[in-house]
Protein backbone atom coordinates (compact mmCIF):
# COMPACT_ATOMS: atom_id res chain seq x y z
CA UNK A 1 0.00 0.00 0.00
CA UNK A 2 2.80 2.41 0.94
CA UNK A 3 4.59 1.37 -2.24
CA UNK A 4 1.46 2.10 -4.28
CA UNK A 5 0.98 5.50 -2.68
CA UNK A 6 4.59 6.55 -3.09
CA UNK A 7 4.88 5.37 -6.70
CA UNK A 8 1.53 6.95 -7.58
CA UNK A 9 2.63 10.24 -6.05
CA UNK A 10 5.87 10.18 -8.01
CA UNK A 11 4.05 9.24 -11.21
CA UNK A 12 1.54 12.07 -10.77
CA UNK A 13 4.35 14.56 -10.23
CA UNK A 14 6.36 13.33 -13.20
CA UNK A 15 3.41 13.10 -15.58
CA UNK A 16 2.14 16.53 -14.55
CA UNK A 17 5.56 18.11 -14.99
CA UNK A 18 6.22 16.45 -18.32
CA UNK A 19 2.75 17.29 -19.58
CA UNK A 20 3.03 20.94 -18.53
CA UNK A 21 6.48 21.42 -20.02
CA UNK A 22 5.32 19.53 -23.09
CA UNK A 23 2.38 21.91 -23.45
CA UNK A 24 4.67 24.92 -22.99
CA UNK A 25 7.02 23.53 -25.61
CA UNK A 26 4.07 22.77 -27.89
CA UNK A 27 3.05 26.45 -27.94
CA UNK A 28 6.53 27.23 -29.23
CA UNK A 29 6.43 24.38 -31.76
CA UNK A 30 3.06 25.59 -32.98
CA UNK A 31 4.42 29.08 -33.57
CA UNK A 32 7.60 27.87 -35.21
CA UNK A 33 5.85 25.38 -37.51
CA UNK A 34 3.23 27.97 -38.40
CA UNK A 35 6.02 30.38 -39.28
CA UNK A 36 7.86 27.84 -41.37
CA UNK A 37 4.70 27.04 -43.29
CA UNK A 38 4.40 30.75 -44.05
CA UNK A 39 8.07 31.00 -45.09
CA UNK A 40 9.00 32.87 -41.90
CA UNK A 41 11.33 31.93 -39.05
CA UNK A 42 9.09 32.36 -36.02
CA UNK A 43 10.20 33.20 -32.48
CA UNK A 44 13.93 32.39 -32.28
CA UNK A 45 15.28 35.11 -30.02
CA UNK A 46 14.79 33.89 -26.45
CA UNK A 47 17.49 31.32 -25.86
CA UNK A 48 18.89 28.95 -28.48
CA UNK A 49 16.26 28.41 -31.24
CA UNK A 50 13.81 30.31 -29.05
CA UNK A 51 13.32 27.47 -26.59
CA UNK A 52 12.83 29.86 -23.67
CA UNK A 53 10.03 31.70 -25.46
CA UNK A 54 7.30 29.80 -23.52
CA UNK A 55 8.90 30.93 -20.25
CA UNK A 56 8.87 34.52 -21.43
CA UNK A 57 5.23 34.15 -22.49
CA UNK A 58 4.34 32.63 -19.13
CA UNK A 59 6.06 35.43 -17.22
CA UNK A 60 4.24 38.00 -19.33
CA UNK A 61 0.91 36.39 -18.51
CA UNK A 62 1.71 36.33 -14.79
CA UNK A 63 2.44 40.05 -14.57
CA UNK A 64 -0.49 41.20 -16.68
CA UNK A 65 -3.53 42.81 -15.15
CA UNK A 66 -6.46 40.63 -14.11
CA UNK A 67 -9.68 42.16 -15.37
CA UNK A 68 -13.19 41.35 -14.23
CA UNK A 69 -16.18 42.52 -16.28
CA UNK A 70 -18.43 44.66 -14.08
CA UNK A 71 -21.49 42.45 -14.51
CA UNK A 72 -19.75 39.09 -14.59
CA UNK A 73 -20.74 36.28 -12.27
CA UNK A 74 -17.50 36.44 -10.40
CA UNK A 75 -17.45 32.99 -8.78
CA UNK A 76 -18.18 31.18 -12.05
CA UNK A 77 -15.92 33.54 -13.94
CA UNK A 78 -13.01 32.37 -11.79
CA UNK A 79 -14.14 28.76 -11.79
CA UNK A 80 -14.44 28.45 -15.58
CA UNK A 81 -10.73 28.39 -16.51
CA UNK A 82 -10.14 25.78 -13.82
CA UNK A 83 -13.08 23.73 -15.06
CA UNK A 84 -11.66 23.61 -18.56
CA UNK A 85 -8.08 23.06 -17.41
CA UNK A 86 -8.58 20.21 -14.94
CA UNK A 87 -10.43 17.67 -17.15
CA UNK A 88 -7.81 18.17 -19.85
CA UNK A 89 -5.14 17.06 -17.40
CA UNK A 90 -7.15 14.38 -15.61
CA UNK A 91 -7.78 12.45 -18.80
CA UNK A 92 -4.10 11.73 -19.03
CA UNK A 93 -4.22 9.75 -15.79
CA UNK A 94 -5.44 6.53 -17.43
CA UNK A 95 -3.23 6.58 -20.51
CA UNK A 96 -0.41 4.02 -20.23
CA UNK A 97 2.80 5.53 -21.53
CA UNK A 98 5.40 2.78 -21.15
CA UNK A 99 6.27 -0.80 -20.30
CA UNK A 100 6.26 -1.57 -16.53
CA UNK A 101 9.32 -0.29 -14.70
CA UNK A 102 11.00 -2.88 -12.46
CA UNK A 103 12.19 -1.72 -9.02
CA UNK A 104 13.51 -3.48 -5.91
CA UNK A 105 10.04 -3.54 -4.43
CA UNK A 106 8.08 -4.71 -7.47
CA UNK A 107 7.03 -3.65 -10.96
CA UNK A 108 5.61 -0.17 -11.40
CA UNK A 109 3.03 0.04 -14.21
CA UNK A 110 3.76 3.23 -16.16
CA UNK A 111 0.28 4.69 -15.99
CA UNK A 112 -0.91 7.03 -13.27
CA UNK A 113 -4.07 5.06 -12.56
CA UNK A 114 -4.70 1.76 -14.31
CA UNK A 115 -8.46 1.97 -13.90
CA UNK A 116 -10.44 -1.14 -14.90
CA UNK A 117 -12.99 1.30 -16.40
CA UNK A 118 -10.29 3.43 -18.02
CA UNK A 119 -12.10 4.07 -21.23
CA UNK A 120 -15.41 5.07 -19.63
CA UNK A 121 -13.45 7.43 -17.41
CA UNK A 122 -12.05 9.13 -20.51
CA UNK A 123 -15.48 9.49 -22.11
CA UNK A 124 -16.82 10.98 -18.87
CA UNK A 125 -13.98 13.47 -18.44
CA UNK A 126 -13.79 14.69 -22.02
CA UNK A 127 -17.46 15.63 -21.76
CA UNK A 128 -16.70 17.61 -18.61
CA UNK A 129 -14.42 19.87 -20.62
CA UNK A 130 -17.52 21.48 -22.16
CA UNK A 131 -18.54 22.91 -18.79
CA UNK A 132 -15.49 25.14 -18.50
CA UNK A 133 -16.18 26.67 -21.89
CA UNK A 134 -19.92 27.13 -21.39
CA UNK A 135 -19.39 28.61 -17.92
CA UNK A 136 -16.75 30.96 -19.28
CA UNK A 137 -19.10 32.12 -21.99
CA UNK A 138 -22.06 32.53 -19.69
CA UNK A 139 -20.38 34.10 -16.67
CA UNK A 140 -18.61 36.76 -18.75
CA UNK A 141 -21.99 38.44 -19.37
CA UNK A 142 -20.91 39.27 -22.89
CA UNK A 143 -22.97 38.30 -25.90
CA UNK A 144 -20.02 37.22 -28.02
CA UNK A 145 -18.56 35.14 -25.22
CA UNK A 146 -21.98 33.55 -24.68
CA UNK A 147 -22.36 32.75 -28.37
CA UNK A 148 -18.88 31.24 -28.41
CA UNK A 149 -19.67 29.14 -25.36
CA UNK A 150 -22.94 27.91 -26.86
CA UNK A 151 -21.29 27.06 -30.14
CA UNK A 152 -18.59 25.17 -28.30
CA UNK A 153 -21.05 23.14 -26.30
CA UNK A 154 -23.20 22.29 -29.33
CA UNK A 155 -20.13 21.30 -31.30
CA UNK A 156 -18.54 19.22 -28.57
CA UNK A 157 -21.76 17.38 -27.75
CA UNK A 158 -22.40 16.63 -31.44
CA UNK A 159 -18.97 15.22 -32.06
CA UNK A 160 -18.77 13.39 -28.74
CA UNK A 161 -21.42 10.98 -30.04
CA UNK A 162 -19.51 10.14 -33.21
CA UNK A 163 -16.32 9.86 -31.19
CA UNK A 164 -17.89 7.52 -28.66
CA UNK A 165 -19.40 5.37 -31.41
CA UNK A 166 -16.09 5.09 -33.24
CA UNK A 167 -14.33 3.92 -30.10
CA UNK A 168 -16.96 1.31 -29.30
CA UNK A 169 -15.47 -0.60 -32.23
CA UNK A 170 -12.13 -0.57 -30.41
CA UNK A 171 -13.79 -1.96 -27.31
CA UNK A 172 -15.37 -4.72 -29.43
CA UNK A 173 -11.97 -5.89 -30.55
CA UNK A 174 -10.25 -5.45 -27.21
CA UNK A 175 -13.08 -7.03 -25.25
CA UNK A 176 -12.15 -4.78 -22.35
CA UNK A 177 -12.35 -1.13 -21.32
CA UNK A 178 -9.08 -0.98 -19.35
CA UNK A 179 -6.52 1.04 -21.29
CA UNK A 180 -3.66 -1.30 -20.46
CA UNK A 181 -5.68 -4.21 -21.91
CA UNK A 182 -6.42 -2.23 -25.05
CA UNK A 183 -2.70 -1.60 -25.48
CA UNK A 184 -1.81 -5.21 -24.65
CA UNK A 185 -4.25 -6.46 -27.25
CA UNK A 186 -2.49 -4.47 -29.98
CA UNK A 187 1.02 -5.41 -28.94
CA UNK A 188 1.51 -8.78 -30.64
CA UNK A 189 2.01 -7.51 -34.21
CA UNK A 190 1.76 -4.27 -36.15
CA UNK A 191 -1.21 -5.64 -38.06
CA UNK A 192 -3.09 -5.74 -34.80
CA UNK A 193 -2.72 -2.05 -34.17
CA UNK A 194 -6.34 -1.02 -34.26
CA UNK A 195 -5.73 1.40 -37.08
CA UNK A 196 -5.57 -1.60 -39.45
CA UNK A 197 -8.65 -3.58 -38.46
CA UNK A 198 -10.52 -0.35 -37.64
CA UNK A 199 -9.27 2.21 -40.16
CA UNK A 200 -12.58 3.98 -40.54
CA UNK A 201 -13.10 4.17 -36.80
CA UNK A 202 -9.75 5.88 -36.62
CA UNK A 203 -10.79 8.31 -39.35
CA UNK A 204 -13.99 9.18 -37.49
CA UNK A 205 -12.06 9.49 -34.24
CA UNK A 206 -9.51 11.77 -35.88
CA UNK A 207 -12.13 14.14 -37.27
CA UNK A 208 -14.04 14.13 -33.97
CA UNK A 209 -10.83 14.76 -32.04
CA UNK A 210 -10.22 17.89 -34.08
CA UNK A 211 -13.74 19.02 -33.27
CA UNK A 212 -13.45 18.10 -29.58
CA UNK A 213 -10.25 20.07 -29.13
CA UNK A 214 -11.71 23.10 -30.93
CA UNK A 215 -8.85 23.16 -33.38
CA UNK A 216 -9.12 24.37 -36.94
CA UNK A 217 -11.06 23.59 -39.10
CA UNK A 218 -13.47 23.27 -36.18
CA UNK A 219 -12.51 26.32 -34.12
CA UNK A 220 -15.88 28.02 -34.46
CA UNK A 221 -16.11 28.75 -30.71
CA UNK A 222 -13.37 31.31 -31.16
CA UNK A 223 -14.10 32.43 -34.72
CA UNK A 224 -12.60 35.88 -34.30
CA UNK A 225 -14.29 37.35 -37.35
CA UNK A 226 -17.69 36.77 -35.79
CA UNK A 227 -17.13 36.39 -32.07
CA UNK A 228 -14.03 38.45 -31.21
CA UNK A 229 -12.26 35.71 -29.23
CA UNK A 230 -15.31 33.58 -28.39
CA UNK A 231 -15.74 32.27 -24.88
CA UNK A 232 -12.50 33.74 -23.53
CA UNK A 233 -13.11 37.27 -24.84
CA UNK A 234 -13.31 38.72 -21.32
CA UNK A 235 -10.39 36.81 -19.86
CA UNK A 236 -6.97 38.28 -19.30
CA UNK A 237 -3.69 37.39 -17.69
CA UNK A 238 -3.24 33.92 -16.19
CA UNK A 239 -6.93 33.03 -16.54
CA UNK A 240 -6.64 33.44 -20.28
CA UNK A 241 -3.45 31.45 -20.16
CA UNK A 242 -5.33 28.62 -18.43
CA UNK A 243 -7.67 28.32 -21.42
CA UNK A 244 -4.68 28.32 -23.68
CA UNK A 245 -2.97 25.60 -21.66
CA UNK A 246 -6.23 23.65 -21.56
CA UNK A 247 -6.50 23.77 -25.34
CA UNK A 248 -3.00 22.44 -25.75
CA UNK A 249 -3.38 19.83 -23.01
CA UNK A 250 -6.49 18.66 -24.82
CA UNK A 251 -4.46 18.34 -27.97
CA UNK A 252 -1.80 16.29 -26.19
CA UNK A 253 -4.44 14.12 -24.57
CA UNK A 254 -6.31 13.59 -27.84
CA UNK A 255 -3.07 12.63 -29.59
CA UNK A 256 -2.05 10.29 -26.78
CA UNK A 257 -5.53 8.77 -26.83
CA UNK A 258 -5.38 8.25 -30.55
CA UNK A 259 -2.01 6.54 -30.15
CA UNK A 260 -3.30 4.36 -27.32
CA UNK A 261 -6.52 3.33 -29.01
CA UNK A 262 -5.38 2.95 -32.60
CA UNK A 263 -1.60 2.94 -32.83
CA UNK A 264 -0.59 0.37 -30.25
CA UNK A 265 0.10 2.74 -27.35
CA UNK A 266 3.67 2.35 -26.18
CA UNK A 267 4.25 -0.72 -28.36
CA UNK A 268 7.39 -0.56 -30.49
CA UNK A 269 6.45 -1.83 -33.96
CA UNK A 270 8.09 -4.85 -35.68
CA UNK A 271 9.44 -6.37 -32.46
CA UNK A 272 7.93 -8.21 -29.55
CA UNK A 273 11.02 -7.59 -27.37
CA UNK A 274 9.30 -4.71 -25.62
CA UNK A 275 6.16 -6.66 -24.65
CA UNK A 276 7.77 -9.66 -22.97
CA UNK A 277 7.93 -10.19 -19.24
CA UNK A 278 11.50 -9.60 -17.97
CA UNK A 279 11.03 -5.85 -17.66
CA UNK A 280 14.03 -3.57 -17.58
CA UNK A 281 14.77 0.11 -17.35
CA UNK A 282 15.86 0.06 -20.99
CA UNK A 283 12.52 -1.37 -22.08
CA UNK A 284 10.65 1.31 -20.14
CA UNK A 285 12.70 4.12 -21.64
CA UNK A 286 12.44 2.69 -25.16
CA UNK A 287 8.67 2.28 -24.93
CA UNK A 288 8.23 5.76 -23.46
CA UNK A 289 10.25 7.08 -26.39
CA UNK A 290 8.06 5.14 -28.83
CA UNK A 291 4.93 6.54 -27.19
CA UNK A 292 6.33 10.08 -27.25
CA UNK A 293 7.29 9.77 -30.92
CA UNK A 294 3.86 8.58 -31.97
CA UNK A 295 2.15 11.27 -29.90
CA UNK A 296 4.38 13.99 -31.36
CA UNK A 297 3.54 12.80 -34.85
CA UNK A 298 -0.14 13.38 -34.14
CA UNK A 299 0.58 16.71 -32.51
CA UNK A 300 2.36 17.71 -35.69
CA UNK A 301 -0.69 16.59 -37.67
CA UNK A 302 -2.88 18.85 -35.49
CA UNK A 303 -0.61 21.82 -36.15
CA UNK A 304 -0.24 21.00 -39.83
CA UNK A 305 -3.98 20.83 -40.37
CA UNK A 306 -4.53 24.01 -38.39
CA UNK A 307 -2.27 26.05 -40.64
CA UNK A 308 -3.74 24.55 -43.80
CA UNK A 309 -7.50 24.53 -43.57
CA UNK A 310 -9.96 27.38 -43.25
CA UNK A 311 -12.83 27.23 -40.78
CA UNK A 312 -16.14 25.50 -41.55
CA UNK A 313 -19.40 27.35 -41.72
CA UNK A 314 -21.59 26.45 -38.77
CA UNK A 315 -24.19 24.56 -40.81
CA UNK A 316 -21.39 22.57 -42.47
CA UNK A 317 -20.01 21.70 -39.07
CA UNK A 318 -23.35 20.45 -37.79
CA UNK A 319 -24.10 18.63 -41.05
CA UNK A 320 -20.75 16.85 -40.91
CA UNK A 321 -21.30 15.81 -37.33
CA UNK A 322 -24.89 14.64 -37.50
CA UNK A 323 -25.45 13.71 -41.13
CA UNK A 324 -22.11 12.13 -41.96
CA UNK A 325 -20.07 11.07 -38.97
CA UNK A 326 -22.83 9.79 -36.70
CA UNK A 327 -24.62 7.56 -39.28
CA UNK A 328 -21.24 6.50 -40.58
CA UNK A 329 -20.06 5.51 -37.10
CA UNK A 330 -23.27 3.60 -36.43
CA UNK A 331 -23.22 1.77 -39.76
CA UNK A 332 -19.55 1.01 -39.36
CA UNK A 333 -20.11 -0.33 -35.88
CA UNK A 334 -22.75 -2.68 -37.27
CA UNK A 335 -20.39 -3.92 -39.96
CA UNK A 336 -17.53 -4.46 -37.53
CA UNK A 337 -19.74 -6.18 -34.98
CA UNK A 338 -21.16 -8.50 -37.65
CA UNK A 339 -17.73 -9.27 -39.02
CA UNK A 340 -16.20 -10.03 -35.62
CA UNK A 341 -19.20 -12.16 -34.68
CA UNK A 342 -18.88 -14.08 -37.91
CA UNK A 343 -15.14 -14.66 -37.51
CA UNK A 344 -15.42 -15.55 -33.82
CA UNK A 345 -18.61 -17.53 -33.59
CA UNK A 346 -18.97 -19.10 -37.03
CA UNK A 347 -15.37 -19.58 -38.17
CA UNK A 348 -13.98 -19.90 -34.59
CA UNK A 349 -10.96 -17.74 -35.30
CA UNK A 350 -9.04 -16.31 -32.37
CA UNK A 351 -7.98 -12.68 -32.45
CA UNK A 352 -4.64 -12.68 -34.22
CA UNK A 353 -2.95 -11.14 -37.24
CA UNK A 354 -5.09 -13.17 -39.68
CA UNK A 355 -8.25 -11.88 -37.99
CA UNK A 356 -7.17 -8.26 -38.19
CA UNK A 357 -5.98 -8.61 -41.78
CA UNK A 358 -9.45 -9.78 -42.81
CA UNK A 359 -10.98 -6.83 -40.97
CA UNK A 360 -8.45 -4.54 -42.65
CA UNK A 361 -9.59 -5.89 -46.02
CA UNK A 362 -13.20 -5.04 -45.14
CA UNK A 363 -12.03 -1.58 -44.08
CA UNK A 364 -10.24 -0.93 -47.34
CA UNK A 365 -13.40 -1.76 -49.29
CA UNK A 366 -15.50 0.46 -47.02
CA UNK A 367 -12.95 3.27 -47.10
CA UNK A 368 -12.83 3.33 -50.88
CA UNK A 369 -16.63 3.47 -51.00
CA UNK A 370 -16.72 6.17 -48.31
CA UNK A 371 -14.08 8.40 -49.83
CA UNK A 372 -15.53 8.14 -53.30
CA UNK A 373 -18.88 9.08 -51.74
CA UNK A 374 -17.40 11.98 -49.79
CA UNK A 375 -15.51 13.09 -52.87
CA UNK A 376 -18.71 13.34 -54.90
CA UNK A 377 -20.77 14.78 -52.11
CA UNK A 378 -21.51 18.47 -51.87
CA UNK A 379 -21.97 18.35 -48.12
CA UNK A 380 -18.65 19.90 -47.29
CA UNK A 381 -17.50 21.24 -50.57
CA UNK A 382 -14.12 22.83 -50.82
CA UNK A 383 -13.26 25.32 -53.49
CA UNK A 384 -10.64 24.47 -56.00
CA UNK A 385 -8.31 27.05 -57.45
CA UNK A 386 -8.70 27.51 -61.17
CA UNK A 387 -5.63 26.05 -62.82
CA UNK A 388 -5.75 28.06 -66.02
CA UNK A 389 -2.57 29.68 -67.26
CA UNK B 1 -29.41 23.93 -46.43
CA UNK B 2 -31.22 25.32 -43.48
CA UNK B 3 -30.00 28.89 -43.76
CA UNK B 4 -30.61 29.23 -47.49
CA UNK B 5 -27.09 28.98 -48.86
CA UNK B 6 -26.99 29.03 -52.63
CA UNK B 7 -25.20 25.95 -53.96
CA UNK B 8 -23.37 26.42 -57.21
CA UNK B 9 -23.40 23.64 -59.80
CA UNK B 10 -19.75 22.85 -60.27
CA UNK B 11 -17.89 19.79 -61.55
CA UNK B 12 -16.95 17.24 -58.88
CA UNK B 13 -13.24 17.85 -58.96
CA UNK B 14 -13.87 21.45 -58.02
CA UNK B 15 -16.14 20.73 -55.10
CA UNK B 16 -14.34 17.86 -53.39
CA UNK B 17 -13.34 18.84 -49.88
CA UNK B 18 -11.05 15.83 -49.61
CA UNK B 19 -8.96 16.67 -52.65
CA UNK B 20 -8.76 20.33 -51.68
CA UNK B 21 -7.65 19.34 -48.16
CA UNK B 22 -4.97 16.96 -49.36
CA UNK B 23 -3.54 19.35 -51.92
CA UNK B 24 -3.60 22.13 -49.33
CA UNK B 25 -1.69 20.01 -46.87
CA UNK B 26 0.85 19.09 -49.53
CA UNK B 27 1.29 22.79 -50.23
CA UNK B 28 1.83 23.76 -46.60
CA UNK B 29 4.30 20.92 -46.17
CA UNK B 30 6.24 22.09 -49.20
CA UNK B 31 6.43 25.55 -47.66
CA UNK B 32 7.60 24.07 -44.37
CA UNK B 33 10.82 22.94 -46.03
CA UNK B 34 11.38 25.98 -48.19
CA UNK B 35 14.08 28.59 -47.47
CA UNK B 36 12.71 31.37 -45.30
CA UNK B 37 12.40 34.97 -46.38
CA UNK B 38 12.85 36.54 -42.94
CA UNK B 39 15.69 39.03 -42.61
CA UNK B 40 16.92 39.01 -39.01
CA UNK B 41 16.88 42.76 -38.53
CA UNK B 42 19.44 43.95 -36.01
CA UNK B 43 22.07 41.56 -37.37
CA UNK B 44 21.17 41.76 -41.06
CA UNK B 45 20.16 45.11 -42.45
CA UNK B 46 20.12 44.27 -46.12
CA UNK B 47 19.80 41.17 -48.21
CA UNK B 48 20.77 40.46 -51.83
CA UNK B 49 17.17 41.04 -52.88
CA UNK B 50 16.40 43.85 -50.48
CA UNK B 51 18.24 47.07 -49.76
CA UNK B 52 17.05 50.49 -48.71
CA UNK B 53 16.18 52.57 -51.77
CA UNK B 54 18.50 55.44 -52.66
CA UNK B 55 15.37 57.60 -52.80
CA UNK B 56 14.52 56.90 -49.16
CA UNK B 57 13.78 60.12 -47.26
CA UNK B 58 14.89 59.84 -43.64
CA UNK B 59 16.31 62.18 -41.02
CA UNK B 60 18.20 65.21 -42.29
CA UNK B 61 21.81 65.90 -42.85
CA UNK B 62 23.50 69.27 -43.45
CA UNK B 63 26.49 69.11 -45.79
CA UNK B 64 29.59 71.10 -44.94
CA UNK B 65 32.31 72.86 -46.96
CA UNK B 66 36.08 72.23 -46.79
CA UNK B 67 36.47 74.26 -43.60
CA UNK B 68 33.79 72.20 -41.91
CA UNK B 69 31.22 75.02 -41.96
CA UNK B 70 27.63 74.36 -42.94
CA UNK B 71 26.97 75.10 -46.60
CA UNK B 72 23.76 76.86 -45.59
CA UNK B 73 23.53 80.56 -46.59
CA UNK B 74 20.38 81.18 -44.54
CA UNK B 75 18.33 82.14 -47.58
CA UNK B 76 15.14 81.07 -45.81
CA UNK B 77 13.71 78.96 -48.64
CA UNK B 78 13.49 75.71 -46.66
CA UNK B 79 11.42 77.09 -43.73
CA UNK B 80 9.30 78.83 -46.37
CA UNK B 81 8.47 75.67 -48.33
CA UNK B 82 8.30 73.28 -45.37
CA UNK B 83 4.66 72.05 -45.23
CA UNK B 84 5.05 70.91 -41.61
CA UNK B 85 6.70 74.13 -40.50
CA UNK B 86 9.40 72.19 -38.66
CA UNK B 87 12.49 74.19 -39.65
CA UNK B 88 13.56 77.08 -37.45
CA UNK B 89 16.09 79.42 -39.08
CA UNK B 90 17.56 82.64 -37.63
CA UNK B 91 19.93 84.18 -40.19
CA UNK B 92 23.11 85.99 -39.26
CA UNK B 93 25.69 87.96 -41.29
CA UNK B 94 29.48 88.05 -40.82
CA UNK B 95 31.80 91.07 -41.38
CA UNK B 96 32.20 90.18 -45.11
CA UNK B 97 28.47 90.27 -45.64
CA UNK B 98 28.12 86.47 -45.92
CA UNK B 99 24.90 85.15 -44.50
CA UNK B 100 25.00 82.09 -42.30
CA UNK B 101 22.50 80.44 -39.95
CA UNK B 102 22.70 81.62 -36.33
CA UNK B 103 20.14 79.02 -35.36
CA UNK B 104 19.13 76.15 -37.64
CA UNK B 105 16.89 73.56 -36.01
CA UNK B 106 14.72 70.81 -37.47
CA UNK B 107 12.04 69.20 -35.34
CA UNK B 108 12.14 65.65 -36.67
CA UNK B 109 8.85 64.86 -34.92
CA UNK B 110 6.98 67.51 -36.89
CA UNK B 111 8.77 66.69 -40.13
CA UNK B 112 6.74 64.76 -42.70
CA UNK B 113 9.86 63.77 -44.70
CA UNK B 114 8.57 65.23 -47.97
CA UNK B 115 12.08 66.21 -49.07
CA UNK B 116 11.01 69.70 -50.27
CA UNK B 117 13.80 71.30 -48.23
CA UNK B 118 16.39 69.34 -50.19
CA UNK B 119 14.70 70.15 -53.50
CA UNK B 120 14.45 73.85 -52.81
CA UNK B 121 17.93 74.36 -51.34
CA UNK B 122 20.03 76.47 -53.78
CA UNK B 123 23.33 75.51 -52.10
CA UNK B 124 22.62 71.75 -51.82
CA UNK B 125 23.19 72.12 -48.10
CA UNK B 126 20.20 70.49 -46.37
CA UNK B 127 19.40 66.91 -47.40
CA UNK B 128 17.07 64.17 -46.29
CA UNK B 129 19.08 61.04 -45.52
CA UNK B 130 18.94 57.35 -46.33
CA UNK B 131 18.65 56.42 -42.68
CA UNK B 132 15.98 55.01 -40.38
CA UNK B 133 17.34 54.20 -36.92
CA UNK B 134 16.49 57.24 -34.84
CA UNK B 135 15.61 56.11 -31.32
CA UNK B 136 16.31 58.47 -28.43
CA UNK B 137 15.52 58.48 -24.72
CA UNK B 138 13.72 61.85 -24.67
CA UNK B 139 11.51 63.90 -26.95
CA UNK B 140 13.72 67.02 -27.02
CA UNK B 141 16.56 65.00 -28.50
CA UNK B 142 14.52 64.95 -31.70
CA UNK B 143 15.02 68.67 -32.32
CA UNK B 144 18.23 68.44 -34.33
CA UNK B 145 20.42 71.59 -34.11
CA UNK B 146 22.95 72.72 -36.69
CA UNK B 147 25.89 70.95 -35.08
CA UNK B 148 24.00 67.67 -35.01
CA UNK B 149 22.79 68.02 -38.58
CA UNK B 150 26.36 68.67 -39.74
CA UNK B 151 27.77 65.71 -37.88
CA UNK B 152 25.46 63.12 -39.45
CA UNK B 153 27.36 60.78 -41.75
CA UNK B 154 24.67 58.67 -43.41
CA UNK B 155 24.20 58.83 -47.21
CA UNK B 156 21.84 61.47 -48.52
CA UNK B 157 18.73 60.82 -50.55
CA UNK B 158 18.85 61.05 -54.33
CA UNK B 159 15.16 61.96 -54.35
CA UNK B 160 12.95 61.22 -57.32
CA UNK B 161 14.23 62.53 -60.62
CA UNK B 162 11.41 63.46 -63.05
CA UNK B 163 13.71 62.98 -66.04
CA UNK B 164 14.57 59.46 -64.86
CA UNK B 165 11.38 58.29 -63.16
CA UNK B 166 12.44 54.65 -62.75
CA UNK B 167 15.92 55.43 -61.43
CA UNK B 168 17.78 53.85 -64.35
Residue A282's pLDDT band (cuts 50, 70, 90) = confident
Residue A96's pLDDT band (cuts 50, 70, 90) = confident
Is the pLDDT score of A388 beyond 60? no
Smallest Cα–Cα separation from A221: which of A230, A213, A212?
A230
* Ranges in chain B, pLDDT < 70: 1-10, 12-15, 167-168
Question: SS3 letters for chain A?
Answer: CHHHHHHHHHHHHHHHHHHHHHHHHHHHHHHHHHHHHCCCCCCCCCCHHHCCHHHHHHHHHHHCCCCCCCCCCHHHHHHHHHHHHHHHHHHHHHCCCEEEEEECCEEEEECCCCCCCHHHHHHHHHHHHHHHHHHHHHHCCCHHHHHHHHHHHHHHHHHHHHHHHHHHHHHHHHCCCCHHHHHHHHCCCHHHCCCCCCHHHHHHHHHHHHHHCCCCCCCHHHCHHHHCCHHHCCCCHHHHHHHHHHHHHHHHHHHHHHHHHHCCCCCCCCCCHHHCCCCCHHHHHHHHHHHHHHHHHHHHHHHHHHCCCCCCCHHHHHHHHHHHHHHHHHHHHHHHHHHHHHHHHHCCCCCCHHHHHHHHHHHHHHHHHHHHHHHHCCCCECCCCCCCC
Q: What pLDDT score was predicted for residue B110? A: 92
What would the mean pLDDT of A330-350 be, rounded to a whole number?
Answer: 85
**Domain of B107, in residue numbers:** 58-151
What would the mean pLDDT of A226-241 be, rounded to a whole number?
Answer: 81
Q: From the candidates A29, A39, A207, A374, which should be mutated to test the interface with B, based on the most B CB atoms within 10 A?
A: A39
The reply to whether B147 falls in a domain is yes
The reply to whether B131 falls in a domain is yes
Q: What pLDDT score was predicted for residue A378? A: 52
What would the mean pLDDT of A349-367 be, rounded to a whole number?
Answer: 81
Phi, then psi, of A138 in degrees rounded to 5: -75, -45
Q: What pLDDT score was predicted for residue A382? A: 44
Nearest neighbour of B21 by CB, restricted to A38, A39, A382: A382
Q: Which residues of B touch A382 (CB under 8 A)?
A: 15-21
What would the mean pLDDT of A335-340 be, rounded to a whole number?
Answer: 88
CATH code assigned at B83: 3.30.70.3270
Q: Could you tell me the pTM of the whole model?
A: 0.81
What would the mean pLDDT of A21-48 be, rounded to a whole number?
Answer: 89
- Give the mean pLDDT of chain A: 83
The reply to whether B10 falls in a domain is no
Q: What pLDDT score was predicted for residue A387? A: 39
Q: Which has the minimum average pLDDT: A366-370, A377-381, B147-151?
A: A377-381
CB contact (8 A) between residue B19 and residue A382: yes
Domain count, chain B: 1
What would the mean pLDDT of A143-161 be, rounded to a whole number?
Answer: 85
CB contact (8 A) between residue A309 and residue B34: no
Q: Is A37 on the interface with B (CB under 8 A)?
A: yes
The reply to whether B103 falls in a domain is yes
The alpha carbon of residue B60 is apart from the nearest alpha carbon of chain A, in Å, by: 33
Q: Is A310 on the interface with B (CB under 8 A)?
A: no
Smallest Cα–Cα separation from A320: which of A384, A257, A378, A261?
A378
The reply to whether B20 falls in a domain is no
Phi, then psi, of A334 in degrees rounded to 5: -60, -45
The reply to whether B83 falls in a domain is yes
The dihedral region occupied by A273, where left means phi > 0, alpha psi between -120 and 50, and beta the remainder, is: alpha
The residue among A329 and A373 whose pLDDT is bigger is A329
The residue among A272 and A31 whose pLDDT is bigger is A31
Beta bridge partners of B16: A381
Cα separation values, A178 from A128, A181, A257, A276, A350, Å: 20, 5, 13, 19, 20
Give, rounded to a whole angstrom, the gap between the first and last alpha carbons of chain A.
74
- A195 within 8 A of A230, measured Cβ to Cβ: no
pLDDT digits over A3-12, tens only?
A: 888 888 888 9
Q: What pLDDT score was predicted for residue B164? A: 73
Phi, then psi, of A330 in degrees rounded to 5: -65, -45
Q: Is A46 on the interface with B (CB under 8 A)?
A: no
Q: Which has the minimum average pLDDT: A44-58, A178-192, B67-81?
A: A178-192
- A27 within 8 A of A61, measured Cβ to Cβ: no
Amino acid sequence: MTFFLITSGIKILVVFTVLMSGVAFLTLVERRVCAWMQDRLGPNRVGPFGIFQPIADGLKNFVKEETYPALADKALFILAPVASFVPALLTFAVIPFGAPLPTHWGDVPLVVADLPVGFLYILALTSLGVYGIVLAGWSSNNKYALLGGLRASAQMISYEIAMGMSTVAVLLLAGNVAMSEIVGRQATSVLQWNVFPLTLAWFIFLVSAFAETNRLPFDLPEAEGELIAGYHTEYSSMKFSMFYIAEYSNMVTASALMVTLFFGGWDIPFTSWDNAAPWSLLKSVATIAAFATKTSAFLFLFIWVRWTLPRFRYDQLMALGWKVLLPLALAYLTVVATATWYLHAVLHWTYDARFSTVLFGINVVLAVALFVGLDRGRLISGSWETRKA
Amino acid sequence: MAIGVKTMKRPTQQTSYLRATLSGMALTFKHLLRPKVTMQYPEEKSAPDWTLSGRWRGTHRMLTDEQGRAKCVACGLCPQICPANCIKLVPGEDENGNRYPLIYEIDEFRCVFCGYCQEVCPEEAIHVGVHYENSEYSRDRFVYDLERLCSQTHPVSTLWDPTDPKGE
